[in-house]
Chain A
C-alpha cells in the first residue's frame, strides 16, 4: 500500500499527545498488538496497521478528533464492525482509524411513527430485536447482520436477501447526523419523509466513509409480516431456473426473497448443513413469500404453478418454520460451505440485468476453464446481484494473482452486459481500478468534486472508492465513452 503523505514522527507524537488529552487512555491505541485487530476488514487480503486507533464515545469527542486531524492534516478512516468486504475500512499507515464501536446505544424506538434512532455502532440485528416488542423490524438484512453495524450499513448502502421487495439501506433510513472532516455536526435528512434541499441522505448512503463520519442514524421500521413461507425448486438446467425467475415477476408477484444457487454451491451447502437440497440439481431457486396468511397462501399456489410450468424437476414448500429456516440456512451458509471445500475463496459482487444471466453464467464457466479455477455461483436472482465464488489456494504460486485477474474479468463482463461492478459490497480499495472501467474521466471528476463539497481537504478515507484519473491511466482498462478515450491529457504507455 502506498500513500502520498509522509509518516512524520514528530507530528505523530504531537497528535497522539493531543488525542490523549481528548480521550481516556484506553481509547487511544498505539501499540502494535492493540492495532492488530484493526489492520483489515472482511477483505483480509489487504492489511495495514494504522498509526493510531481512537475509540470516542460521544459526538463531541468525534468533533474534537476531527478538528484536530483537520488542523494537522492527518487522514481519518472510519470503522464500524469491520465486516465490509471491499477493504473500505483499510487503515492508513499515517492515518487515524476512528472506530465507532463505543456508539452502541439504541436511543429511541418510536412505534407510532415507525422509526428508531440509534447510534452508529448498533448492530443491524439489534434494531430488529429491539423493535420486535412492537411487532416491527428493520428490513435490510445483509448476511453479516449479526455482527455488522448500522453506521457501516449506511456507509455501504447494504442490501440483503430481501431487497427486491424492501429495498436497500437508502430506502430504509430517514435521518443521519454526521461530523465533517472539519468537525462540523450536520443533520442530513429529517424525521419526516423528506427534507428541504438536496437529497444528501441518498448521497451519504453508500459513500464509503468519504463524505462524513456517521454518528447517529434514524431508520424506518416496518410491521412484521404475519407469515413468511419459502418454496424450493430444483432445475436440471441453469437457464430454466433463470427463466422461471422472470416468469414469477411477470406474473405480478414480488417475492420477499428470490435466490439462486448453482450445482457447486448446492453441493457444498448440502454437505455442510444438510438443508435437504437436491444434490443432483443443476440449479435451485429459493422463493420466499411474505404478507398476511391469506396473501401468502394465494401466492404459494401461483408460484408453484409457475415453477412447474417452467420445468422445475422438483418443487417443495417448507412444511414448517423449522424447514423454512433450514432451507435458508443452506443459502446463508453457502460462503462458509465453499470455504470448506477450498483452501481459499474470493467472493465477487457484480449486478447484471437478469435477462443476461444465462449468457453471464456461460461466460463465467468458460473463464473458469481458461483460468483453471472452479467457481460456485450464488445469486440474488430477484435483483440481479451475482456472487461468483472463485475457489483457489493462496499457497500455490500465482493462484491469488490469477484469481484476482479472473475476478476483474467477471466485473468487466458485468459492465459489458449493462450491469455494475458492485451490487452491495462497495468499491473500497478492492474494486477501485474497476471504477475506471465503469466510469468516464468526466464522471470520476464529478465524483471527486462531490467529495470535495463535503471534504475540501480530502482527508476522509483518501484513496478509496473513487480512483484518480492518473490511477485509471496507469490501470489501462479505460472506459470508452461515446467512442472517445477519456483523459486525452494523460500520456499512455
Chain B
C-alpha cells in the first residue's frame, strides 16, 4: 500500500469533533476492536495515515505513521536484520503500529527484553483540541519534559491520536533454540523463576499445562551452550509454536468462553481458580479460561498481588479492566481532561469515567 500523509485531514476532523463535542472512535486496522469496552462514537479512520517516515538501521530507530501495518514495518526491519524486540501480537493481518502501541501489546519476549512502552522513544500526537504536539524524539536517552510518549502507550487512544511513533529497534538474534520438557505446574513455575537468576539469554518461557518451553536466543555459541544447560529436549518447529502462542492460535485459545489475562509475580504458586491455564512470560502473564464469576476471580488474584483483564468473550461492560482506586482514578480523569478536554477520544473504552 502507498504511503500517505493525511495528518492535516485528521486534524480537521478532530477540530470539528472538538467544536461539536462529537465522540470519536479511533480505528486503524480494526484488529483490536475486541479489546476493552465497546467503542462509541463516530469512526475516525487513521489506517490510511501510513508509511515509514525514517529508518536508519545503524541508529536502531524507526519512525512510522500510525496507520502503517505491523507487517510492513516488520518486513522493512527484517531486510536490515532487525526486529521489534517486544514481539507484538498482530491479532490480524491489518494490525497497525498505532493500534499496537495504543493497546500496549507485547509478546513472549516481554519479560526478558521489554514491553512495547520500553521501545517507544517519541511520538507526534494529535490531542483533543486538534493540536499537533511532539514529545520524546528519535534518540535513546531523552529526559526533556514528561514522558508523554510512554504515557500514550497502552492508553487505548483515550488521550489522543499518535500520528507518528518512533521506536527503538534491535538486531535479530543470530540463532535461537527452544528446549521443552514435560512437568507439572509447580515445577514449571519454579524452573521459569529460577531462570531469572541465570545469565542465559532467555527470551521466552511458557507452560501449556503439560510442557514447559524455554527459548534462548543470541549468538550461535550461546545457543549451542544453552542446549547443554537448560533441561529438556530441543523442540522442532519451535518458531511456529511461539508464533501461535503470540497470536493466540494455540488450541488453548480456540473455542468460546471468556479468556482472562491474569498478571501476577512470576513465582506466584498456581492459583486455585477452576478452569484451564496457560502460563506465558515465565509465569508473569497467565491466561485463564474459566466459567467462574469475574468478581471472584479478581478477588483471588488481588490476594496474590495481581490484576485481571477480561481479554476475550466478555459480556461484562465496564468490568474489562481492573478497577482503579479512587485517588488514582482522579488523576487519570485530570490527565484525560488535560489532553482531551471535551472527552471526544475513545470514550469509555478503558473505564466508563474516562
Interface residues of A (CB under 8 A from B): 110-115, 134-136, 156-157, 159, 163-164, 167-168, 170-171, 184, 186-188, 190-200, 202-203, 205-207, 223-226, 246, 249-250, 252-254, 291-292, 294-295, 297-299, 351-355, 380, 383-385, 418-427, 431, 435, 438-440, 442-443, 446-447, 449-454, 456, 465-466, 482
Contacts and interface: CB of A to CB of B under 8 A. Distances in A.
B338 interface: yes
Contacts of A110: 265
A225 B117 contact: no
Given A192-B307, A252-B171, A354-B59, A422 B332 contact: no
25 contacts: A110-B265, A111-B196, A112-B193, A113-B196, A171-B118, A186-B327, A187-B328, A197-B328, A197-B351, A199-B104, A250-B58, A252-B172, A291-B222, A292-B200, A292-B222, A294-B221, A295-B219, A351-B142, A354-B58, A383-B139, A383-B140, A419-B137, A422-B142, A422-B143, A449-B339
Contact of B154 (A164, A194, A203, A252): A194
Residue from the set B81, B159, B307 with the largest chain A CB neighbour count within 10 Å = B307
B264 A206 contact: no
A148 to B, nearest CB: 15
A254 B170 contact: yes
Contacts of A207: 146
Interface in B113-144: 114-115, 117-118, 127, 131-135, 137-144
A443 B118 contact: no
Given A113-B265, A190-B307, A199-B154, A384 B145 contact: no
A328 B258 CA distance: 54
Contacts of B111: 193
Given A426-B143, A442-B133, A198 B151 contact: yes
Contacts of B140: 163-164, 351, 383-385
A421 B221 contact: no
Contacts of B324: 196-197
A268 to B, nearest CB: 24
Nearest to B60: A249
Contacts of A168: 141
A482 B140 CA distance: 25
A299 B150 CA distance: 32
B142 A420 contact: yes
Given A252-B174, A291-B218, 8 more contacts: A114-B266, A187-B328, A190-B306, A202-B147, A203-B146, A226-B199, A292-B225, A298-B219
B61 interface: yes
Nearest to A380: B141
Nearest to A224: B199
Contacts of A136: 197
B141 A193 contact: no
Contacts of B225: 292, 294-295
Contact of A443 (B56, B134, B325): B134
B198 A291 contact: no
B197 A135 contact: yes
